[in-house]
């Protein structure tokens, strides 16, 4: 009888564990692309974002997540002007942020970490250092549980979430990507990255990794990368999903204005002269926005929230000054380049102090060959 009871108990545990794994894999499949895109935009490691999402939302099944798309348990705080929802947490009937979509929640999570000084030290860590990030989040007060770092690291290791950080580090394709032949095997090398982050992996190894992943084999010495996920991540740079209304980037007030918006109407709406609005955004005269853009409604700061920004493909110095909330002339000064120059993808743009060396820049020329040269 005892043996039969033990067998039933063990079988129940196995079923519960399998059900939990299925929930985790479903969550990862649904939100990994958002985490990858957010890492490329903000620098928050995709592995950390996914692990926090899994823990904070209970695999997307918590009441808070289902009712308000809040995947990270972020509370209202004083600056929140969006929709609100109330749940019992540390105290009864606490105010939590409510979002229109999961993408908005992920975006706000990244912004939450990027715009608060007490998290700034995290962005000095390597993005693959998930242990440092996990312990740092606890140190900075993100969660109260003593074992929060261990929980994050376990989720990352159990579901190999660091692979999505590696995928994000591949960024987007550029003309310098090379594909070499070796014994009829394709070798993928992303030359847009800093040398210490370059990944080389053969087609044979990709297939072997896929097989191991399918069979549930875990090997700490093997990086399991889904090539389909890589292709999907690099095909398009998705449009950013910023909150409606006023929010802050690097302690400066900003809005996300849609294509076709009149700058004059924005100036009137926020009681700013058009000249000042253009000055705040390092822009020349532009009556109607030709594309969606971040528009600051007060002067940007002279230093960024973190030390540097890693350039993605086709990103201009002006794009970076808006994304990071730093004045364009200071970025040019720190990095020893002209404001009109376009830095090459993978280069570091320093946001707080002078760069040790000027970044490589690219000169775009429109010709029959559509060539791109690197200076």
Q: How many domains does the chain have?
A: 3
Cα-Cα-Cα-Cα dihedral sign, residues 160, 165, 171, 176: negative
Judge if 145 and 182 occupy the same domain. Answer: no
163, 189, 205 - which closes a domain: 163
Judge if 140 and 184 occupy the same domain. Answer: no
Judge if 255 and 141 occupy the same domain. Answer: no
Q: Give the pLDDT score at 137.
A: 95
The answer to whether residue 81 scores a pLDDT higher than 70 is: yes
List pLDDT tens digits, range 284-298. Answer: 877 789 888 999 999
Report the distance separating Cα 341 and Cα 315, nearest Å: 11
Q: Give the pLDDT score at 334.
A: 97
The residue with greater pLDDT, 125 or 3, is: 125
CB 105 within 8 A of CB 66: no
pTM above 0.85, yes or no: no
List pLDDT tens digits, range 234-257. Answer: 333 334 456 778 888 888 899 999
Q: Give the pLDDT score at 286.
A: 72
The residue with greater pLDDT, 163 or 335, is: 335
**Does residue 83 lie in a domain region?**
no
Report the distance separating Cα 40 and Cα 37, nearest Å: 5
**Does residue 56 lie in a domain region?**
yes
List pLDDT tens digits, range 212-238. Answer: 444 444 433 333 334 333 333 333 333
Residue 47 exposure: Cα atoms within 13 Å on the Cβ side: 28
The pLDDT > 70 percentage for the chain reads: 72
What's the rounded mean pLDDT across residues 175-183? 29
Judge if 110 and 138 occupy the same domain. Answer: yes
Q: What is the DSSP letter of 163?
A: H
Q: What is the DSSP letter of 243?
A: P
Q: Give the pLDDT score at 236.
A: 37
Q: What is the DSSP letter of 299?
A: P
The answer to whether residue 152 scores a pLDDT higher than 70 is: yes
Judge if 194 and 53 occupy the same domain. Answer: no
Report the distance separating Cα 188 and Cα 203, nearest Å: 8
The residue with greater pLDDT, 47 or 364, is: 47
**Does residue 280 lie in a domain region?**
yes
Q: Which of 60, 54, 52, 68 is nearest to 101 (CA)?
A: 68
185-189, 205-209, 351-355: segment of lowest average pLDDT: 185-189
Q: Give the pLDDT score at 186.
A: 34
The neighbour count for residue 353, using CB atoms within 10 Å, is: 11
Strand partners, 86: 95
> Residues 244-276, buried b or exposed e (16+ Cβ, 10 A)?
eeebebbebbbbbbeeebebeebbeeeebebee
Judge if 194 and 321 occupy the same domain. Answer: no
Give the pairing type, strands 200-202 and 185-189.
Answer: antiparallel
Judge if 21 and 153 occupy the same domain. Answer: yes
Judge if 317 and 225 occupy the same domain. Answer: no
The answer to whether residue 173 scores a pLDDT higher than 80 is: no
Phi-psi group of 160: left, alpha or beta (phi > 0 → left; psi -120 to 50 → alpha; rest → beta): left
List pLDDT tens digits, range 128-148. Answer: 899 999 999 999 999 889 999
The answer to whether residue 13 scores a pLDDT higher than 60 is: no
Can you point out the beta strands (E) in 222-300?
A: 247-249, 252-257, 293-296
Q: Give the pLDDT score at 161.
A: 92
Q: Give the pLDDT score at 288.
A: 86
Judge if 219 and 256 occupy the same domain. Answer: no
CB 273 within 8 A of CB 247: no
Q: Give the pLDDT score at 308.
A: 85
The answer to whether residue 274 scores a pLDDT higher than 60 is: yes
The answer to whether residue 89 scores a pLDDT higher than 60 is: yes
Judge if 112 and 202 occupy the same domain. Answer: no
Q: How confident is the model at residue 362 (pLDDT cuts 50, 70, 90)?
A: confident
The answer to whether residue 210 scores a pLDDT higher than 80 is: no
The answer to whether residue 195 scores a pLDDT higher than 60 is: no
Judge if 216 and 332 occupy the same domain. Answer: no
31-35, 44-48, 123-127, 182-186: segment of lowest average pLDDT: 182-186
What's the rounded mean pLDDT across residues 324-331? 95
Structural domain span for residue 298: 247-374
């Amino acid at each position: 009888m005892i043996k039969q009871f033990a067998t039933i108990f063990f079988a129940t545990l196995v079923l519960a564990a399998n059900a939990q794994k299925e929930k985790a894999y479903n969550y990862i499949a649904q939100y990994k692309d958002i985490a990858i895109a957010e890492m490329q935009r903000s620098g928050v490691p995709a592995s950390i974002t996914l692990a926090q999402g899994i823990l904070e939302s209970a695999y997307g099944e918590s009441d808070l997540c289902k009712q308000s798309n809040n995947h990270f348990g972020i509370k209202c705080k004083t600056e929140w002007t969006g929709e609100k929802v109330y749940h019992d947490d540390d105290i009864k009937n606490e105010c939590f942020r409510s979002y229109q979509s999961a993408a908005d929640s992920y975006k706000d999570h990244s912004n939450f970490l990027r715009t608060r000084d007490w998290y700034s030290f995290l962005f000095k860590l390597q993005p693959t250092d998930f242990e440092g990030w996990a312990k740092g989040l606890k140190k900075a007060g993100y969660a109260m549980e003593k074992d929060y770092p261990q929980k994050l690291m376990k989720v990352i290791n159990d579901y190999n979430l660091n692979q999505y950080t590696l995928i994000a580090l591949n960024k987007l394709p550029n003309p310098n990507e090379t594909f070499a032949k070796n014994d009829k095997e394709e070798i993928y090398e992303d030359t847009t990255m800093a040398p210490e982050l370059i990944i080389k992996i053969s087609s044979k190894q990709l297939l072997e990794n896929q097989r191991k992943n399918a069979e549930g084999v875990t090997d700490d010495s093997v990086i399991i990368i889904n090539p389909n996920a890589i292709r999907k991540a690099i095909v398009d740079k998705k449009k950013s999903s910023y909150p409606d209304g006023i929010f802050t980037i690097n302690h400066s007030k900003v809005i996300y204005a849609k294509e076709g918006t009149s700058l004059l109407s924005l100036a009137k709406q926020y009681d700013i002269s058009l000249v000042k609005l253009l000055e705040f955004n390092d822009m020349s005269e532009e009556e109607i926005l030709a594309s969606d853009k971040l528009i600051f409604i007060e002067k940007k700061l002279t230093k960024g929230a973190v030390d540097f920004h890693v350039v993605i493909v086709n990103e201009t110095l002006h794009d970076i000054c808006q994304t990071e909330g730093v004045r364009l002339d200071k970025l040019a000064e720190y990095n020893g380049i002209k404001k009109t120059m376009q830095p090459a993808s993978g280069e570091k743009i320093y946001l707080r102090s002078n760069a040790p060396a000027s970044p490589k820049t690219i000169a775009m020329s429109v010709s029959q060959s559509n060539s791109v040269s690197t200076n």
